Structure 1
């Protein structure tokens, strides 16, 4: 007999008391919890049912398919067919469907997810809906970070538990990064979203998806999401027309955004409901300014962030807020007060010293956009642009020479260094990166990341800018022997302090 999701949850609720959690990891089970045993890529959770029972699990639900007939466990247990694909909806019911009680916005795309979710969280909170942010740099609500797994998109069980906790703590809204892997693996199954945003798509995660088409297919899942109230797509990316068509085919209203009339052009091309455009985009002393045309109205917008890519992020966020029913003037005022997330174009200042900037850009497209966005400021300072970066190990090796070529083309000085080599030889990785800039006289290799950052800061002129790229907010460097504490912004400050000491 195949049980419905509701029947499975009713069975669990009969076993547990208030405060019980669902757990996918037997090591995290506490007395009274429910253990969910499903096959994974590296291990099969069913092999750990007895461990969970010994740790005091009140019950176990496990994948029925592939389990030997007559298998008995020393704990109340329930076999559930296709459990992995149903787990998100089961967890949502177990935790009271908390995401449905809040205003949810999901952001997908290669670059811009973290910035967009942070800005959404800030705007929603400013305009009366206390909002949480869930994504690459962690889970944040009410000015504090909440412990959660280090994944862009947590697993479905963890996510539903987070929603329930956030709702109990007073959250009325949330913005979540919807990674391609998370969408494809069903980690967001059970989540309710009012708005879905597409930022852009460029080369990343090909170690997982293998092809760009498969990568795009995974992103597209968001735009046929059950119950989605609106889709926001960025006309600067050609895939937006496809995702807009998908959303419309599922009865979801589409908002298009772009620069210099591209948003309106895409709206007409796909017969979308709404369009936003930024005209006369220009750098200012504290970021960007542009003229916004939205819904037949025009407003001047001040954005405290550099780069055209951040104008794109801001447009998508503004569109999402309008789709949620917030007044245009309130949103525009809020945009002027936005703050960047950790490790995203994060400046590290010291009077009379080179300007350090830390950014997470770790894909060819993101690195190119980051460098292009910094060049006007570098020229205004009358200085040179230094780039210190590397590429991660055990990840798509094809992007390494591409990023080396981009850095050499757009920087005055490049130091190729180690990122997170993981199980790979860091010397081999840096050579592959540098190969993309073969013959370039402005490129050198310094494999030790701390040494590379110090070298750039110590050699740069006071009017120069040093971009340290690739790791952003990350507080660890992952080597063959495991993770070690390493925060780029800390090391930049350390190097600036060393330089000041030397100059005394």
Structure 2
């Protein structure tokens, strides 16, 4: 087993000269060896150091005894706000422990030291944005894996080596999991890691201390306002990835309004690579000029461009001319929707920034495939086309439906719901998008969580003015089955909101459920 620093050695790395208390065995021959760090007492914690800090929903210090009983080798605990009962539990432990002020601010430093500074062994790419993070990360990681043999990946689909991901509960994991994953990926000789960086992670300091080689913004629209409270606050948190992390390159979507403010932001010192779809760029040219942007080499906001032009919509994909600082090529991709084309341009930009050869980039983009649960198409003979997508914001739903309209020969159906205990303000907005863009709508459950499902449906329906073509079927399986049974050959059905997820969160329970599996099952039965 790999040799990690012992507990005494680890404690010396903490800014704990003052206001520190604890039971540390300072005898070298009795130093406590440890196999890992953990924030969760319910993890496999035997032989690991339990890090006990207050969280947003639970206080880790309440689980110190549980961690000790489960075999934790030591405890590092937040000192501020420690209750008398928690202090008593610590004093009775038969394992070493230490209390430290502002422990959460030292977690990154602690984890870096423990795992031998694994980020320095990798080229890191951080992707943020309301929509598209997962697709950009997955596509990039898959391509780098094919070129180099290995690539690390962290995000919605899981953590680890691309193609061998372990399930993750959050888009961006906690500080300790990030460093541990970096170490595991580096140990397997991968030289790159692509990770999704959520607004929550930026705000909570989960990526603190990381130095990215490339940072990427896909787009920004309404999401997570239950947490950030305003779109302005949400945007400022996203901006911090580009101002606070000393990246070498900033890849920005010129077709996005917020990204254009970053292009003009001279406080961002990274070299800027800007991608866009030519027809969109032309539509916005006047606005760009009004904003002070131009394409002159003498411009105040210098950047290099990656552009898709001469776009042709094909029955099962898109064709375009790709123009970049590294070369030009005619490209065909089997992906639907201009937002997927935008994602591909982000991928090309990342690969160029990482110095992959133009020949490799062009070859691999031609071989690109859809990400599971991201505009994933399911086809059976004499049945409607069914598309499963993760769209769970008004903007993402609009883009998905608009993209499908260009490929749809008959009616366009939309099956969707909204998550419970999340931004309720977007529910009516998503309904309005569905009514405006789809021909037939079925409103169903998404992940109700602890919220009443009927209440969620009621909020959604307030956004629909004319309900003649709207049905409510709360059971998601039945909603999908009804759509497939009712639609004609030539129709297209979008199943939106859950994408790759293989579960449904209902009243505190995690129930097995996969839109993708349900669609395949029903289409196979109907064939």
Q: Which secondary structure state, in structure 1, belongs to the residue aligned with residue 321 of structure 2?
A: strand
Instruction: Spell out the pairing of 1:60-75 with structure 2 (5 A cutoff).
Output: 60-67=75-82, 72-73=90-91, 74=93, 75=95
* Deviation for aligned residue 1:322: 0.9
* Deviation for aligned residue 1:383: 1.6
- Residues 72-127 of structure 1 show CA distances to partners (whole Å, capped at 9, x for unaligned) of 53232223222112212321221112122011111000000000000110121222
Aligned positions, number: 492
Q: 1:221 to 1:481 in 2, by over 3 A?
A: closer
2:428–2:460 Cα contact (<8 Å) kept:
yes
Give 1:454's aligned residue: 481
1:29–1:52 Cα contact (<8 Å) kept:
no
- Residues 341-373 of structure 1 show CA distances to partners (whole Å, capped at 9, x for unaligned) of 211111122122111111000000000000111
Whole-Å separation in 2 of the counterparts to 1:267 and 1:229? 23
Give 1:254's aligned residue: 272
Aligned counterpart in structure 2 of residue 94 of structure 1, from 106, 114, 127 = 114
* Deviation for aligned residue 1:441: 2.4
* Deviation for aligned residue 1:227: 3.7
* Deviation for aligned residue 1:407: 0.7
Give 2:352's aligned residue: 322
Q: Which secondary structure state, in structure 1, belongs to the residue aligned with residue 165 of structure 2?
A: strand
Give 2:178's aligned residue: 159
* Deviation for aligned residue 1:481: 5.2
In terms of mean alpha carbon deviation, does 413-422 or 163-172 score higher? 163-172
Q: Which secondary structure state, in structure 2, belongs to the residue aligned with residue 157 of structure 1?
A: helix
Whole-Å separation in 2 of the counterparts to 1:302 and 1:81? 56
Instruction: Spell out the pairing of 1:273-352 with structure 2 (5 A cutoff).
Output: 273-295=303-325, 297-352=327-382
Give 1:126's aligned residue: 146
Q: 1:9 to 1:344 in 2, by over 3 A?
A: farther
* Deviation for aligned residue 1:428: 2.1
* Deviation for aligned residue 1:440: 4.1
Q: 1:91 to 1:307 in 2, by over 3 A?
A: same
In terms of mean alpha carbon deviation, does 346-355 or 254-263 score higher? 254-263
Whole-Å separation in 1 of the counterparts to 2:120 and 2:25? 21
Q: 1:8 to 1:448 in 2, by over 3 A?
A: same
In terms of mean alpha carbon deviation, does 209-218 or 291-300 score higher? 291-300
Unpaired runs of at least 5, structure 1: none
Give 1:438's aligned residue: 465
Whole-Å separation in 2 of the counterparts to 1:305 and 1:12? 60
Q: 1:259 to 1:270 in 2, by over 3 A?
A: farther
2:123–2:191 Cα contact (<8 Å) kept:
yes
Instruction: Spell out the pairing of 1:360-375 with structure 2 (5 A cutoff).
Output: 360-375=390-405
1:488 and 2:518 correspond? no
1:103–1:194 Cα contact (<8 Å) kept:
yes
Instruction: Spell out the pairing of 1:6-85 with structure 2 (5 A cutoff).
Output: 7-8=13-14, 15-17=31-33, 20-28=35-43, 30-67=45-82, 72-73=90-91, 74=93, 75-85=95-105
In terms of mean alpha carbon deviation, does 179-188 or 56-65 score higher? 56-65
In terms of mean alpha carbon deviation, does 282-291 or 172-181 score higher? 282-291
In terms of mean alpha carbon deviation, does 466-475 or 262-271 score higher? 262-271
Whole-Å separation in 1 of the counterparts to 2:242 and 2:173? 20
Q: 1:143 to 1:12 in 2, by over 3 A?
A: farther
In terms of mean alpha carbon deviation, does 136-145 or 218-227 score higher? 136-145
Q: Which secondary structure state, in structure 1, belongs to the residue aligned with residue 406 of structure 2?
A: helix
2:278–2:308 Cα contact (<8 Å) kept:
yes
* Deviation for aligned residue 1:460: 0.8
1:434–1:443 Cα contact (<8 Å) kept:
no
Aligned counterpart in structure 1 of residue 243 of structure 2, from 219, 224, 248 = 224
In terms of mean alpha carbon deviation, does 230-239 or 190-199 score higher? 190-199
1:393–1:424 Cα contact (<8 Å) kept:
yes
Q: 1:86 to 1:461 in 2, by over 3 A?
A: same
Give 1:358's aligned residue: 388
Q: 1:16 to 1:159 in 2, by over 3 A?
A: farther
Whole-Å separation in 2 of the counterparts to 1:6 and 1:119? 42
Q: 1:6 to 1:357 in 2, by over 3 A?
A: farther
1:29–1:35 Cα contact (<8 Å) kept:
no
In terms of mean alpha carbon deviation, does 327-336 or 407-416 score higher? 327-336
Whole-Å separation in 1 of the counterparts to 2:360 and 2:340? 19
1:255–1:267 Cα contact (<8 Å) kept:
no
Q: Which secondary structure state, in structure 2, belongs to the residue aligned with residue 28 of structure 1?
A: coil
1:468 and 2:483 correspond? no
Q: 1:16 to 1:166 in 2, by over 3 A?
A: farther
In terms of mean alpha carbon deviation, does 292-301 or 261-270 score higher? 261-270
Structure 1 runs of 4+ aligned residues shifted over 6 Å read: 3-6, 9-14, 68-71
1:168 and 2:177 correspond? no
Whole-Å separation in 1 of the counterparts to 2:233 and 2:11? 30
In terms of mean alpha carbon deviation, does 164-173 or 412-421 score higher? 164-173
1:267–1:273 Cα contact (<8 Å) kept:
no
* Deviation for aligned residue 1:256: 1.1
1:149 and 2:168 correspond? yes
Aligned counterpart in structure 1 of residue 258 of structure 2, from 239, 243, 253 = 239
1:458–1:496 Cα contact (<8 Å) kept:
no
TM-score normalised to structure 1 length: 0.91
Q: 1:216 to 1:330 in 2, by over 3 A?
A: same
Q: 1:468 to 1:226 in 2, by over 3 A?
A: closer
Q: Which secondary structure state, in structure 1, belongs to the residue aligned with residue 418 of structure 2?
A: coil
Unpaired runs of at least 5, structure 2: 1-8, 17-23
